[in-house]
Amino acid sequence: MARTREFDTDAVVDAAIGVFWRKGYAATSIQDLVEATGIGRGSLYAAFGSKDGLYEAALARYAEQSTSDVAARLEGAAPARDVLRDLLLYIVDTTVTDPERRGCLITNTATERLPHDRVAARVVGGAFDRNAVAVTAVLRRARERGELPPDADVTAMADLVVTTIQGLRVQGKAGADRRRLATVVDLVLSVLFIQDRSSL
């Protein structure tokens, strides 16, 4: 009869997220994961198969949490410019107030593991796509309410916002301060919500 696991799988994955987020995939050893999760090597391999398996589980869990957080922050009836500004400044604040400047595990994975890790590429691409869908919905509502012109390309605009999110995280991880990043946020929004688009 199979032996019942004596640990909380979610708690193990959460602990692994912390290690991979802080150290990256390559610099994380199995011993690091054993110490962080509190389970033995045998149990870790039995549950996840390998370091890769645990990394995939951690990345997928982080991606779900991150994209759900973004979607939740885009809800509400406030003007789209205000909603997007609040989201982007939240990204800035969570990045620059992190004492370790870890950035974002999704962004870190994109720069460390892609394009060679196909599983990671699928998770990262899926996270970017989910964020783009959520932002597109906000911009589509803005267009319907007259906050954007009728011919506004909300898909391209959403891609700009998602790209900005990743850039803010990388710049923040590299040491940029809040004032500098907040200026970028306001500039991007001024482009998205420019009144006279004939000059573009």
Rounded CA-CA distance 148/142 in Å is 6
Q: What is the pLDDT along the chain (200 residues), one digit of tens a residue?
A: 344 456 789 999 999 999 999 999 999 999 999 999 999 999 999 999 999 999 999 999 999 999 999 999 999 889 999 999 999 999 999 999 999 999 999 999 999 999 999 999 999 999 999 999 999 999 999 999 999 999 999 999 999 999 999 999 999 999 999 999 999 999 999 999 985 444 44
Contact 21, 108 (CB under 8 A): yes
User: In the prediction, which pLDDT does 195 show?
Assistant: 55
Token pair belonging to 32: 């690091």
Domains of the chain: 60-194 (1.10.357.10)
Rounded CA-CA distance 10/61 in Å is 9
User: In the prediction, which pLDDT does 4 show?
Assistant: 43
Contact 84, 70 (CB under 8 A): no
Sign of torsion over alpha carbons 148, 152, 155, 161: negative
